[in-house]
């Protein structure tokens, strides 16, 4: 069997000898430290090109004394919520890059209060971190602040949803509008003769839906306008923190509108509607929801929820932080748009779904 030839490691002193310069000059060229004449620079670069030199960026990063501070901006949450999984991915990435002198802080905002997001972003601009992992809130508010980040030349990565016209280093998340379109398609494929559909949003009364929810709604509406304009839509707003009020709204909705035979929720709170349907034995209603929360999975397994659309929050958080560190520490080129899969989970396949 023929042995594979493994080339010897090229040392700085070897490059120096071939270029006819000092090892210190080679070191300054390799690490872009300046103080090198044009002639010496060209000699070293010619040798590097000739020997096909590939720098060990990881070793260089470990040897560097430069430190980087990153901020992850995500909504505050309760244990078991969607954002807990996002934070898990962020912290997993943080553990992997700590040796490269990258520190990561997480700050939280209330996703149901515009002022909370604004105050959080003001704090971000005051701290001026080296990079930001950012969850977009309202589109207009997010865009205004990203323009300020652009002026400060602070790279930022979007997770969860994308804001058009912004200039992020990268985006990791679903194609939100397509996800809403798929939700509508699943709903009608489950029951082709749907007559009336309840379309739910969860946020504080008087507040506008998030960028993510708005894009999903747009995709859903696009499908309905294309395929089923004869179907009646009941748009319903539930308060994320008012269970008693939600119970009253749901009771009035379903008992005043007996024709409703389908429902979709564009956030991770499908279990709230599902619990109501199960409690009141409304088994004829097909329900589509989002995200793999334990409460949602329980209702999927007993078939109260027909489908869950998952979007891999752990992967979004993990890859978002890694992209920032790759850009800042290793000077790697980062793809701007990185869509995560739109996973469709059912009663039959949920037990085989692999977590991140």
Question: How do residues 301-326 score in pLDDT, each as one tens digit?
Answer: 999 999 999 999 999 999 999 999 99
Identify the pLDDT of residue 5.
38
Stronger pLDDT, 3 or 148, i.e. the higher one? 148
Domain check: are 36 and 75 in the same one?
no
Instruction: List all residues 6 or more positions away from 61 whose beta carbon is below 8 Å from its beta carbon.
Output: 100, 329, 330
- The candidate with the shortest Cα–Cα distance to 134, out of 159, 106, 165, 167, is 159
Check pLDDT > 60 for residue 210: yes
pLDDT band at 230 (very low <50, low <70, confident <90, very high): confident
Q: What is the mean pLDDT of residues 278-293?
A: 94
pLDDT band at 9 (very low <50, low <70, confident <90, very high): low
Residue 355 located in a structural domain: no
CATH number of the domain residue 194 falls in: 3.40.50.2300
Which of 292, 310, 328 represents a domain boundary (last residue)? 310
Domain check: are 159 and 228 in the same one?
no
Residue 356 located in a structural domain: no
Identify the pLDDT of residue 1.
37
Check pLDDT > 80 for residue 351: yes
Q: Is the dihedral of CA 298, 301, 305, 308 positive or negative?
A: positive
Identify the pLDDT of residue 191.
82
Eight-state DSSP code of residue 129:
-
- How confident is the model over 67-89, as pLDDT tens digits? 899 999 999 998 888 999 999 99
- The candidate with the shortest Cα–Cα distance to 274, out of 288, 256, 261, 260, is 288
Q: How many domains does the chain have?
A: 3
Identify the pLDDT of residue 6.
38
Q: What is the mean pLDDT of residues 119-141?
A: 88
Domain check: are 321 and 259 in the same one?
no
Domain check: are 190 and 300 in the same one?
yes
| Domain extent for 163 | 68-173+313-342
Residue 78 located in a structural domain: yes
Domain check: are 320 and 303 in the same one?
no
pLDDT band at 61 (very low <50, low <70, confident <90, very high): low
Identify the pLDDT of residue 2.
40
Identify the pLDDT of residue 49.
80
Check pLDDT > 50 for residue 7: no
Residue 82 located in a structural domain: yes
Residue 1 located in a structural domain: no
**Alpha helices (H) along the chain:** 12-19, 23-30, 38-50, 57-63, 82-97, 114-127, 139-151, 176-190, 211-227, 243-256, 270-279, 294-301, 313-328
Percent of the chain with pLDDT over 90: 55
Domain check: are 46 and 24 in the same one?
yes
Residue 63 located in a structural domain: no
Domain check: are 139 and 30 in the same one?
no
Residue 61 located in a structural domain: no
Render 150-190 in DSSP notation, one character per residue.
Answer: HHTT--EEEESS--TT---SEEEE--HHHHHHHHHHHHHHH
Identify the pLDDT of residue 58.
59
Domain check: are 165 and 218 in the same one?
no
Residue 7 located in a structural domain: no
Domain check: are 199 and 121 in the same one?
no
pLDDT band at 354 (very low <50, low <70, confident <90, very high): low
Domain check: are 254 and 338 in the same one?
no
Identify the pLDDT of residue 201.
85
Domain check: are 165 and 77 in the same one?
yes
Q: Using alpha carbons only, what angle is made at residue 219 by residues 214 and 223, rounded to the nearest 5 degrees?
A: 145
Q: Is the dihedral of CA 315, 321, 326, 332 positive or negative?
A: positive
Domain check: are 95 and 218 in the same one?
no
CATH number of the domain residue 23 falls in: 1.10.260.40
């Amino acid at each position: 069997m023929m042995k594979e030839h493994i080339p010897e490691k090229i040392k700085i002193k070897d490059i120096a000898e071939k270029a006819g310069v000092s090892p210190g000059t080679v070191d300054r060229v390799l690490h872009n430290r300046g103080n090198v004449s044009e002639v010496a620079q060209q000699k070293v670069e010619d040798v590097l090109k000739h020997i096909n030199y590939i720098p060990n960026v990881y070793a260089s990063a470990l040897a560097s004394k430069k430190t980087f501070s990153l901020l992850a901006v995500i909504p505050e949450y309760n244990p078991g919520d969607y954002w807990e999984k996002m934070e898990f991915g962020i912290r997993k990435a943080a553990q992997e890059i700590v040796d490269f002198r990258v520190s990561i802080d997480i700050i939280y905002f209330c996703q149901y209060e515009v002022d909370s997001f604004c105050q959080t972003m003001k704090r971000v601009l005051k701290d001026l971190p080296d990079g930001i992992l950012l969850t977009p809130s309202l589109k207009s508010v997010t865009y205004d602040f990203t323009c300020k980040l652009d002026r400060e030349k602070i790279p930022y990565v979007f997770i969860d949803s994308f804001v058009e016209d912004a200039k992020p280093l990268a985006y990791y998340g679903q194609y939100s509008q397509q996800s809403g379109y798929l939700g509508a398609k699943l709903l009608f494929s489950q029951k082709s003769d749907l007559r009336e559909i309840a379309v739910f949003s969860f946020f504080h009364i008087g507040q506008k839906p998030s960028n993510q929810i708005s894009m999903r709604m747009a995709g859903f509406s696009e499908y309905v306008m294309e395929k089923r304009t004869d179907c009646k839509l009941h748009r319903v707003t539930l308060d994320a923190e008012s269970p008693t009020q939600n119970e009253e709204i749901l009771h009035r909705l379903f008992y005043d509108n007996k024709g409703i035979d389908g429902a979709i929720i564009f956030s991770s709170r499908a279990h709230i509607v599902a619990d109501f349907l199960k409690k009141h034995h409304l088994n004829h209603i097909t329900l589509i929801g989002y995200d793999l929360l334990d409460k949602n999975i329980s209702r999927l397994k007993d078939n109260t929820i027909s489908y869950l659309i998952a979007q891999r929050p752990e992967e979004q958080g993990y890859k978002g932080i890694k992209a920032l560190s790759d850009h800042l520490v290793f000077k790697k080129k980062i793809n701007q748009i990185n869509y995560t899969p739109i996973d469709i989970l059912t009663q039959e396949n949920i037990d085989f779904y692999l977590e991140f």
